[in-house]
């Protein structure tokens, strides 16, 4: 029997089993069995990278965003509108068959947007180009789930389930469970609060299913069995997702209003060019990019060319900033001067561990270099480059 058949069989058994206190342990065990099989299913065939022909697109820019959705919801139309790269759009399904990259220029950064073939129910098991599309989505920083506003709300759930089946967790934080495998000592089970979904016995049973007999486990929140399995599997990817309801030009205003009020959602119309600027702003926020402007001593900062950092990838400390410019720079730095939101006063003397925020301005003071400290005529806690640039005209940044 193949892996998919075995998953189906266990799912059928779960559906047959009544949910109550007595069956709780058995159901938990079945969930763990499915999770193990899904992990097996995800392993790419030997000798391949997993992405597949037409899907190996080189990363470019400061971040990557994937367009995921059912066929003909308008993914290609959206890529063409936002990036200027043409991606074939048509009224028939599966117009797009490979991964088409485009670039969004936004806030002095470049963001790679990927158009992908439509996916359908069963994608996680390899239907259509599901596996390739999912592999590419996992390589991106956030997902835009494109939905047809005129179609069933169920589509969002179906797609979410498909993505969850391959280990993607949308708009969810990693469970607060500490888990560490040990060589000896048995299982040590602890929690910092009352648990209502999982008890010690269930936890042991799940670990047993994974043949783990020595481990330390500490629940820091009232987590579920699914959370526990996610932590044990360890291969989950937690990503932000924006639900983009397209084609609102063919939907009544009441329905549009309802969709627009859902969390992490935005309503747009490619045809009428409606709300695309707000979509970009929302996407930008979700990516959490941090632009840092370098100011050479005695000169004005270059506001057109920021160093772009990300809390999720690589971090936003002064050290990360230095490493971004040059690998050996950190050793030469004495301290840095920081203007902007992260600075308590402007400029603030900061060390390598200081965490920078979007639109900060940084001047590096190297060891042995003569420092001539500036009295900031420039002081503000809420200045951003546009505002800084305005100010600059009146009162240039000193140092
Ligand atoms: N009414 C309306 N139609 C739209 C809108 N955006 C796209 N369409 C139409 O929807 C159809 C499908 O658009 P595509 O961009 O090819 O959709 P897709 O999601 O890329 O489709 P596949 O590549 O086949 O998965 C085309 O006929 C578009 O003209 C919109 O905002 N409103
Ligand atoms: K299409
Ligand atoms: Mg398309």
Residues recorded for the chain = 399
Best residue among 82, 86, 89, 115 to mutate for probing ligand 1, ranked by most atoms within 8 Å of CB: 89
State the closest ligand 1 atom to the C-alpha of 70, by its place in the atom list counted from 1: 25
Mapping DSSP onto H, E and C, the string for 275-338 reads: CHHHHHHHHHHHHCEEEEEECCCCCCCCCCCCEEEECCCEECEHHHHHHHHCCCHHHHEEEEEE
Report CA(93)–ligand 3 centroid distance (Å): 8
Q: Mean pLDDT over residues 196-210, rounded?
A: 94
Q: What is the DSSP letter of 353?
A: T
Adjacency order of strands within the sheet including 289-294:
307-310, 289-294, 360-366, 333-339, 348-350
State the closest ligand 1 atom to the C-alpha of 91, by its place in the atom list counted from 1: 27
Q: Mean pLDDT over residues 65-76, rounded?
A: 96
% of residues, the chain, pLDDT over 70? 90
Q: Mean pLDDT over residues 268-276, rounded?
A: 97
Reduce the DSSP state of residue 214 to 3 states and report it: coil
Q: For position 26, what pLDDT does the model report?
A: 93
Res. 120 pLDDT band, cuts 50 70 90: confident
Best residue among 85, 252, 270 to mutate for probing ligand 1, ranked by most atoms within 8 Å of CB: 270
Q: For position 61, what pLDDT does the model report?
A: 95
Report CA(221)–ligand 3 centroid distance (Å): 41
pLDDT by residue (tens digit) across 206-223? 999 999 999 999 999 999
Q: Mean pLDDT over residues 169-195, rounded?
A: 95
- Superfamily of chain region 289-394: Beta-grasp domain (3.10.20.30)
Residue 192, C-beta contacts closer than 8 angstroms, at least 6 positions apart: 218, 219, 220
Are the beta carbons of 280 and 106 closer than 8 angstroms?
A: yes
Residue minimizing CA distance to atom 24 of ligand 1: 94
Residue minimizing CA distance to atom 8 of ligand 1: 74
Q: For position 226, what pLDDT does the model report?
A: 95
State the closest ligand 1 atom to the C-alpha of 78, by its place in the atom list counted from 1: 15
Are the beta carbons of 354 and 340 closer than 8 angstroms?
A: no
CA–CA distance, 49 with 158 (Å, rounded to integer): 27
Find, among 65, 234, 41, 46, the residue nearest to 124 by Cα.
Answer: 41
% of residues, the chain, pLDDT over 90? 74
**Domain locations along the chain:** 3-43+175-233, 63-172+237-287, 289-394
Angle at 260 between CA 94 and CA 133, to 5 degrees: 25
Question: What is the CATH T-level fold of the domain 63-172+237-287, as seen in this structure?
Answer: Rossmann fold (3.40.50)
Q: Mean pLDDT over residues 353-364, rounded?
A: 96
State the closest ligand 1 atom to the C-alpha of 115, by its place in the atom list counted from 1: 20
CA–CA distance, 65 with 293 (Å, rounded to integer): 24
Residue minimizing CA distance to atom 1 of ligand 1: 247
State the closest ligand 1 atom to the C-alpha of 88, by its place in the atom list counted from 1: 16
CA–CA distance, 234 with 217 (Å, rounded to integer): 14
Report CA(186)–ligand 2 centroid distance (Å): 55
- The pTM (predicted TM-score) of the whole model is 0.86
State the closest ligand 1 atom to the C-alpha of 246, by its place in the atom list counted from 1: 31
Q: For position 89, what pLDDT does the model report?
A: 96
Pocket of ligand 1 (CB under 6 A): 69, 71-77, 89-91, 93-96, 117-118, 246-247, 249-250, 269-271
Phi, psi of 310 (to 5 degrees): -145, 135
Report CA(331)–ligand 2 centroid distance (Å): 53
Report CA(158)–ligand 1 centroid distance (Å): 20
Find, among 289, 288, 282, 287, the residue nearest to 262 by Cα.
Answer: 282
Peptide bond into 347 cis (omega under 30): yes
pLDDT by residue (tens digit) across 282-307? 999 999 999 999 999 889 998 888 99
Residue minimizing CA distance to atom 7 of ligand 1: 74
Residue minimizing CA distance to atom 16 of ligand 1: 89
Residue minimizing CA distance to atom 11 of ligand 1: 91
Report CA(113)–ligand 2 centroid distance (Å): 18
Half-sphere exposure for 214 (CA within 13 Å, toward CB):
4
Q: For position 399, what pLDDT does the model report?
A: 67
């Amino acid at each position: 029997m193949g892996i998919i058949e075995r998953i189906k069989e266990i799912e059928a058994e779960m559906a047959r089993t009544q949910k109550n206190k007595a069956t709780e342990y058995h159901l938990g065990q079945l969930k763990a069995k499915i999770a193990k099989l899904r992990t097996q299913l995800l392993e790419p065939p030997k000798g391949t990278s997993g992405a597949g022909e037409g899907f190996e697109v080189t990363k470019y820019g400061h971040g990557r965003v994937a367009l995921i959705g059912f066929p003909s919801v308008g993914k290609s139309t959206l890529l063409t509108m936002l990036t200027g790269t043409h991606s074939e759009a048509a009224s028939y399904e599966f117009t797009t068959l490979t991964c088409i990259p485009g670039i969004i220029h936004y806030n002095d950064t470049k963001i790679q947007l990927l158009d992908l073939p439509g996916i359908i129910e069963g994608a996680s098991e390899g239907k259509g180009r599901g596996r390739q599309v999912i592999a590419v989505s996992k390589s991106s920083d956030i997902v835009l789930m494109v939905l047809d506003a005129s179609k069933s709300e169920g589509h969002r759930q179906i797609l979410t389930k498909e993505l969850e089946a391959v280990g993607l967790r949308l708009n969810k934080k990693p469970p607060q469970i500490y888990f560490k495998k040990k060589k000896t000592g048995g299982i040590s089970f602890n929690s910092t609060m009352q648990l209502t979904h999982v008890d010690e016995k269930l936890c042991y049973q799940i670990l047993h299913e994974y043949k783990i007999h020595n481990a330390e486990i500490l629940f820091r929140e009232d987590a579920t069995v699914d959370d526990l399995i996610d932590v044990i599997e360890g291969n989950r990817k937690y990503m932000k997702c924006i639900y983009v309801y397209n084609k609102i030009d063919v939907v009544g205003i009441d329905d549009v209003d309802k969709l627009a009020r859902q969390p992490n959602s935005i309503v747009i119309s490619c045809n009428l060019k409606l709300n695309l600027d707000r979509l970009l702003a929302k996407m930008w926020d979700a990516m959490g990019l941090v632009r840092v402007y370098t100011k050479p001593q005695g000169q004005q900062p270059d506001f057109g060319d920021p160093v772009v950092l990300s809390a999720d990838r690589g971090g936003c400390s002064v050290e990360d900033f230095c490493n971004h410019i040059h690998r050996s720079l950190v050793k030469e730095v004495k301290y840095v001067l920081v203007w902007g939101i992260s600075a308590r006063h402007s400029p603030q003397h900061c060390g390598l561990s200081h965490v920078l925020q979007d639109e900060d301005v940084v001047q590096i003071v190297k060891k042995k270099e003569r420092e001539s400290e500036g009295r900031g005529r420039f002081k503000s806690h809420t200045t951003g480059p546009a505002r800084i640039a305005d100010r600059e005209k009146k009162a240039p940044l000193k140092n």
